[in-house]
Every structure is written in C-alpha cells, then in structure tokens.
Amino acid sequence: MSKALNQDPANITVTSQVSCECSDGTAITCGEVCIGTTNRSYITVTVSMPYSSPLPTGMLLGLTSISGSAVFRAN
C-alpha cells in the first residue's frame, strides 16, 4: 500500500470511456434513441501504473503494470 501512496503521479495513467445501452440490455451508440425503453449511459474509468515486484515472480509472469477499473452508471 505504501508503494502506491508514494507513486509519482506522472507514472499513473487514467482513461475513461462512455458506453450506452437500452434498458433491455441492447448495446447502442451514444446519441441513439431506444424505442420502447430508456437509454442508459455508463462511464468506465481505468487507472494503471507501473509495477515492480520485490519477488522474481513478477518478471517470470511478465507483470509490468497493474490496473483497475470501475463502471459508473451516468443515468
């Protein structure tokens, strides 16, 4: 945990993506109108940063970064 707290912000990558679907689960492009159902918008935020393991397992498995993402419903 302390390693994450000491991470240089310049090494952290944050990306976001918007996706949309009808309330029945049909994927649509944002801006389309759902017929007979309501539109739903979602925002996916992904955060990644370089990772170096104190153990050699990270190198053996090819782990060079860690990331996490969360999906938020916008409406």
In the structure, how many helices (H) and strands (E) does the chain have?
2, 4
Q: Confirm whether pTM is higher than 0.85.
A: no
The pLDDT value recorded for residue 1 is 44
- Provide CB contacts within 8 A for 67, sequence distance 6+: 46, 47, 48, 49
Q: Show me where the domains of the chain are located.
A: 2-73
Element (H, E) at 39: strand 39-50
Per-residue pLDDT reduced to its tens digit, 4-60: 556 788 889 999 999 999 999 999 999 999 999 999 999 999 999 987 777 776 566
Return the closest-CA partner of residue 15 out of 49, 40, 39, 64: 49
